[in-house]
Amino acid sequence: MNKFIPTFWLTFWKKVSSKSFIISTLIVILAIIALSNADKIYDFFDKSEDDITVISSEDKTLSTVFKNEYQKLDKKKKLKIVDLEAGKKGIKNEKYKVLIDIKENTDKTIESKVYTLDSLGTDELMQIQSTLTAFQSNNIAKSLNLAPDKLAKVLSQAKVDNEVIKPLDANDKVSEESKAVNTALVYAGIFLIFFITINYGSQIATEIAQEKSSRVIEMIVTSISPITHLMAKIIGVIAVALVQIIIYAITILVCVQVFNLNKTIESFGFKFTQENVRVLMYALIFLILGLLLYISLSAIVGSLTNRIEDIGQAIMPVTFLNMAAFYIAMFSLTTPDTMLVKITSFIPFFTPQVMLLRTISQKTSDVQIIIGIIICIVTIIALFFIAAKIYKGSVFSNDKGLIKNFKRALQTK
């Protein structure tokens, strides 16, 4: 243990104090802070409140009524009634943003033409249309002597309710109300697993290969056993990754308190409840398992590589495994119950990302998820033993090629 700790601390401190770690961590922290203040940044650059929408009509009463109704949709919107020609001139001079010309036909229907310099957004056109449609309906109802309550019945929509019947083995902890938040958590978790495992897996493989190619390992193994040295480096890299994750988590918690991030999230229609805690906990578990899984697998690849120039090609199969799991999970985000997802969720190298996806499905029970966790743990333990065996047997190997190094490592006792 006294030899393990110095190696662990050297690996940990070397990476934590590196420029790449500090810069990448600061970039993510700044991104989190920026997202926490997204509403303030948007308001700073958005000058839409300064834009003036003008309304013209030969019937002044019609334009006034429309202005009052349209104002209810957005109280901050600046509205003004002008003549048609003055409105067109204002649009050309960029004094006004939108000109809405309204005309009432003899059959009480409403026509409107919207003048702009640029194409108007679909949402704003829909607002104008819905306001005019409501006004048109009232006009036609009055011409037909139709009472307001009868008009309301004519315009009312048919009632349609959707009741979800859950299977007997369904997970009843996921409700429709929290489904959007759960999907967002899984989406973020899949991305985090992918990028962190790619980053730190590549780091451990490169570092091990670099020691072997420079023959530094020949001096190291005279004072510490190869297995102890390897385990110290792996755990050191894992500790660095966990520190980075903790820093991100603390940043998010600080943003929640300082910048009222929870209110910003709620403004988008998301509300974090107790029902989302389950998915969040599974996301953290699969993040750690994915990190352990791919770092141990990358350590094996690094142990089998004798030249630093070959590490890029050697680590490629691990990268492809990670990418395959990532794309299966991302492309199945809206369909987490397909046969492909179910099968790959129990394949160890796909489990962290794909099984995390299945946590948002009501058809996935906790028993299935726990089985996936056990599969990951067993695989990680097996990979650690294999990594130790191969590293010990390939320390002084000069053979070229992964297969030759692998055979030599297995023959070494």
pLDDT tens-digit series, residues 168-206: 555 554 455 567 778 888 888 899 899 888 988 888 888
pLDDT of 48 strictly over 50: no
Its domain, for residue 202, covers 175-410
Q: What amino acid is encoded at 132 in this protein?
A: L
For residue 238, is it within any domain?
yes
DSSP, collapsed to helix, strand or coil, labels residue 400 as coil
Output the furthest CA–CA distance in the chain (Å, rounded). Answer: 101
Among 125, 155, 185, the domain boundary falls at 155
More confident residue, 313 or 378: 378
Identify whether residues 323 and 371 lie together within a single domain.
Answer: yes
Q: What per-residue confidence (pLDDT) applies to 49?
A: 47
Identify whether residues 127 and 212 lie together within a single domain.
Answer: no
Among 155, 184, 213, the domain boundary falls at 155
For residue 318, is it within any domain?
yes
For residue 297, is it within any domain?
yes
Q: What per-residue confidence (pLDDT) applies to 2?
A: 65
Identify whether residues 228 and 341 lie together within a single domain.
Answer: yes
Least confident window among 100-104, 270-274, 345-349: 270-274
Strands of the sheet containing 98-104, edge to edge, are 78-81, 52-57, 98-104, 110-115
Band the pLDDT of 340: cuts 50, 70, 90. very high
Between the CA of residue 332 and those of 112, 139, 323, 336, what are the distances in Å? 44, 49, 14, 6
Tell me the percentage of the chain whose pLDDT exceeds 90: 17
Among 96, 125, 155, the domain boundary falls at 155
pLDDT of 412 strictly over 70: no
Identify whether residues 244 and 142 lie together within a single domain.
Answer: no
* Beta bridge mates, 231: none
Identify whether residues 216 and 138 lie together within a single domain.
Answer: no
Identify whether residues 86 and 191 lie together within a single domain.
Answer: no
Identify whether residues 338 and 397 lie together within a single domain.
Answer: yes
How many domains is the chain built from?
2
